[in-house]
Amino acid sequence: MSKELVKTTLHGYNGPVCATEVLQNICDENEGEHLDGNVLEEVARRIEGYKERTRPTTIDGYGWFWALSFLTEGGEIMILIPWAQDFDKTDGSKFDRAIAVYTKGSAAEGEIFYIQANLVIGLREFFAKRAGSIQPLKAQQSTA
């Protein structure tokens, strides 16, 4: 996966902006057969505002593996997940390019972060359960 964001247009949306590093990493760690459309949709459905899972194509002709759309107070956020076809992992990842985030309307930065954070939490819980750990991850409490 290229660690740099491919600057390309998705018709009707603003962006792209790069996904958070932690979202990039959890997707990278669980690429291939572990990170399929059904897994993404199962996790996304638990997040308030989830709209749909699609396969968009950006103006550069790249057809994305999946995109998850979320409606927010200010508009819409779409998180695009690339295909994992770099089988030689030339830069340490099978993904073709970095995960991209696009917005429509006036979706706030906090809304973008909220959705990505909840995807990370949901994916971690999903993969922990799949690996045999039945306890979901919990937020750490401050000891101060």
Domain map (residue ranges) of the chain: 14-130
17 - beta bridge partners? 101
Give the sign of the dihedral formed by CA 48, CA 114, CA 77, CA 21: negative
Give the pLDDT score at 13. Answer: 96
Give the pLDDT score at 140. Answer: 45
Please tell me the pTM assigned to this model. Answer: 0.83
Give the pLDDT score at 74. Answer: 86
Listed as ranges, residues in the chain with pLDDT below 70 are 1-4, 30-34, 86-89, 92-93, 133-144
Give the pLDDT score at 5. Answer: 76
Share of the chain above pLDDT 70, in %: 80
